[in-house]
Amino acid sequence: MSDAQPTGTSTKSRGLDVREARRDFPILNREIHGHPLVYLDNANTSQKPQGTIDTITHYYRDLNANIHRGVYELSLHTTRVYEEVRGKVRAFIGAADEREIVFVRGTTEGINLVAQTYGRTHIGAGDEIIVTTMEHHSNIVPWQMLCEQVGATLRVAPITVEGDVILDEYRSLFNKRTKFAAISHVSNAIGTVNPAKEMIAIAHEHSVPVLLDGAQSVPHFPVDVQDLDADFYVFSGHKMYAPTGIGVVYGKLNLLEEMPPFLGGGDMILTVSFEKSTWAPVPQKFEAGTPNVAGVFGLGATLDYLNGLGMSQIQEYEDGVVSYAVERLSTLDDITIIGTPRQRTGVISFTIKGVHPHDAGTILDRDGIAIRAGHHCSQPLMEFYGVPATNRVSFGLYNNHNDVDRLVAGLETVIEVFR
């Protein structure tokens, strides 16, 4: 097997062949409590294709060495593949330069990196940062921490009950004190696809840079950061069929070059003395210490796999499954779907009359159906809708209509039990 490559692709000449794709994910052969697994928690973490698993094994078995440090073959080879993956990420999200790609542990670390580097040097007392009501905690808490550190204020763009940002209200928040905006590309809780390009353009009219949380977008449709004109774009590997513990910060090169390091230590320095240290160029300046080399290898294999399938084909197929799920869930009288956004991808949240989400999730698990129950790290959004928690089903490229039918049958059982 070649380095950082999956074991083949799973496509037909037109569209996504989901039956073939499902064979690439070994965990889907499992039974849970005697039932075939139906995995509908992809917004939390997605399953991994065999090629990605094989690539990680291959790294540890045949190549294990650190990067950027050795003059021996294993280290040189591993460094070369590691940097090749950076190039694959650049191409996958349409960045202009490989130096704009920084490897981190995931979206959470990526947002904290931007908040504590760009934020600490550009945002001060009396300044304002804009977020939206639908943000994941990872795109709220780091900005709250920054506001407490420097004396800034967090402003929140409201949404409609359908789950769409009210653009006129969003636009009205910008003023001379606004220094940053951080918005989700896709809501992890209700699946809203925000009009990110328009929201970025509004911010740029006021010379305000924008960070997009792309954790729930890159698994589902093509992303082009240059077309969006995003200043920063962050996402996690584990939500897009890659390993845990690996993620990406994209930043425009001029912004990254002026930002101070996030962490200090080995591999992010140019020189060190007791009097003063100087920093390596980007992106190495932001990658202190030994990175998750195996995770980068796995991410590279996953990108090859997704490119083989085609992100547009994945988007078209998944949109059909989600639409079918909305249609089927809407036939159940005791089900209330939370949010009906203009554009949705990947995620449906709902409540069941008289049934706590945790009870529903537990009963469904007995039928081998894995869903999420809780506030989904979106407590302000739950408060907006007046619910403490919801059931959430989230879809990946391997889910099909049979999974939806199994879910609906399981929910009918839940409703009957509590009736």
Active site residues per annotation: 377
- Which residue shows structure tokens 């589902």? 220
- Centroid of chain to Cα 124: 29
